[in-house]
Amino acid sequence: MEKASKHCIFALVEHKTGYTLIGQLNDGTTKSTNKRTINLMNKMPEQFKTITSDNGS
């Protein structure tokens, strides 16, 4: 039996326009999540003023 993957999908969604940035996390740790958030936000910094997290549950 294969070992389960720890990879996660990460999405930032601008609610007014629906603009979405999607990235992959190698694991679900806070450190990985924060690093990916900063990386994606730096691609289009003018799109973000605040962010709200949601675990998707």
Q: What is the pTM of this model?
A: 0.68
Query: How high is the pLDDT of residue 3?
Result: 64
pLDDT at 16: 83
Report the amino acid identity of residue 11.
A
Phi, psi of 8, rounded to the nearest 5 degrees: -130, 155
**Number of CB atoms found within 10 A of residue 46's CB:** 5
Q: Domain residue spans in the chain?
A: 8-46
Q: What is the pLDDT of residue 4?
A: 61
Q: What is the pLDDT along the chain (57 residues), one digit of tens a residue?
A: 566 667 888 888 888 888 888 888 888 888 988 898 898 888 888 877 788 877 765
